[in-house]
Amino acid sequence: MHTDTDRCVRAVQAKDARFDGWFFTAVLTTGIYCRPSCPVVPPKPENMRFYPSAAAAQQAGFRACKRCRPDASPGSPQWNERADLVARAMRLIADGLVDREGVPGLAGRLGYSTRHIERMLLAEVGAGPLALARAQRAQTARLLIETSALPMAEIAFAAGFSSIRTFNDTVREVFALAPGELRTRATRASGGTRDGRPTATTGTIALRLPHRAPLCPDNLFGHLVATAVPGVEEWRDGAYRRTLRLPYGQGVVALRPGHEHIGCQLALTDLRDLTIAISRCRRLLDLDADPEAVDHLLRADPQLAPLVDKAPGRRVPRTVDAAEFAVRAVIGQQVSTAAARTHAGRLVLAHGEPVHDPAGGLTHLFPGPERLAGLGPEQLAMPRTRRTTLTTLAGALAAGEVALGAGSDWEEARARLAELPGIGPWTLEVIAMRALGDPDAFPPTDLGLRRAARESGLPSTPAALTRRAAEWRPWRAYAVQYLWATDDHPINHMPPA
């Protein structure tokens, strides 16, 4: 979009928040870059330059605006809508892969040369993988500086910088303030506290997750809580809480719905996991979606329009761990939601990794594929065919034969899953919808979906419903959420506070 100058200028002059994250506005006269909705008086059009990413604006020599904080904009929805090389690379960079494994590691995951990936990212995003990772480190550093009382040296390494000098130079360059000045400014603005809470020193970080309006939290939090695995997930004091398995350690997150943002409180055993944890929480709640585009297309169908108008902005509840969700999808085959929770809870209690959660009742991490792959049939209390499916799936995930991570190829993952015994069309599409994040995933054999379609005046047979759903592409997964919401099931209702 950044190449359509006239459209960008109109968005900036209207302070249209719908375009935050789609592009960034750099101002030649001030040397700063902003999000389109920046509250300051818009500059003259001839002084504006537009960039597709914060990293591209930083690379061009512009610093972040202190008023609108463009580095904290919602991410571009393109990276969750697409499955091409650039989108897969952007998802992996957001998941911290470049910081952990470097550009060669990114290239290895994607199956292309480092030169080709660099060329593709520069052409579309305006910055290479190192610059994109650097911009992400800068944002993480700012979060830690402003929301914690950690020493600057600890923040530097937690944010992924290789040295304190690089950390200081980057913060000064991106924000035009030294790290200490950023902290002093944040302390004065909050009256001596961070975000209204006492400053933290023990790895607990409180922050806000931005999103594009509208957002309907009912099915989002309702689904997560109604299907919550005991010990791994819970609803407590108006927040959805769950344990996290992260590259450097464990974590516990509490996500609280709000009108303008999602409140997020993270307790991490290693602060180097902060960037990855934020990325996975955003993915869990589908916060980088573009609800205006989704709802506009779905409203064109007269049967869906009343459902969209009733509660616009529905998101697709996803997952923080694709492998975990795939296993849970198998456990949930042909059983009720309550039964699936019971079976999963027993599995967690017997084979999960214990966690410490003094703030709530979480007890375990969900067992990883490596642990599950080694279980004998007698250790799984479920029908024989489902036991075989579960252990075969876990073995394929542990061996890397099936890749379901942030950078996976959606069609290749579907093909590999379909080769496994017991993975039918319903399981395949549910995994694609919630674990892979494919916005066009569609399970036409789902009984709840077929019942909702019939009651809404839509075809209810799988073949006919699939033909009708062609009009909803590429947002069929969102259409599923609107149709499911017609049923009076706990997944569709916000849990009581």
Place of tokens 């993952």: 413
> Which residues participate in catalysis according to the annotation?
34, 446
Beta bridge partners of 27: 32, 48
Tokens read off for 431 = 């995994």
Tell which residue, 497, 430, 489, has the closest CA to residue 219.
Answer: 489
Looking at residue 493, its amino acid is H
Report whether 58 contacts 126 (CB < 8 A).
no
In degrees rounded to 5, what are phi and psi of residue 44?
Answer: -65, 145
User: Can the peptide bond before residue 474 be classed as cis, meaning omega within 30 degrees of 0?
Assistant: yes
Tokens read off for 111 = 């199956």
Question: 35-43: which pairs have CB atoms within 8 A and are 24 or more residues apart?
Answer: 35/65, 35/68, 35/69, 35/70, 35/73, 36/8, 36/11, 36/12, 37/68, 38/12, 38/65, 38/67, 38/68, 38/70, 39/15, 39/67, 39/68, 40/65, 40/67, 40/68, 42/12, 42/13, 42/15
Tell which residue, 454, 453, 457, has the closest CA to residue 476.
Answer: 453
**Alpha-carbon gap, residue 199 to 202, rounded angstroms:** 10
**Alpha-carbon gap, residue 431 to 411, rounded angstroms:** 12
**Alpha-carbon gap, residue 343 to 347, rounded angstroms:** 6
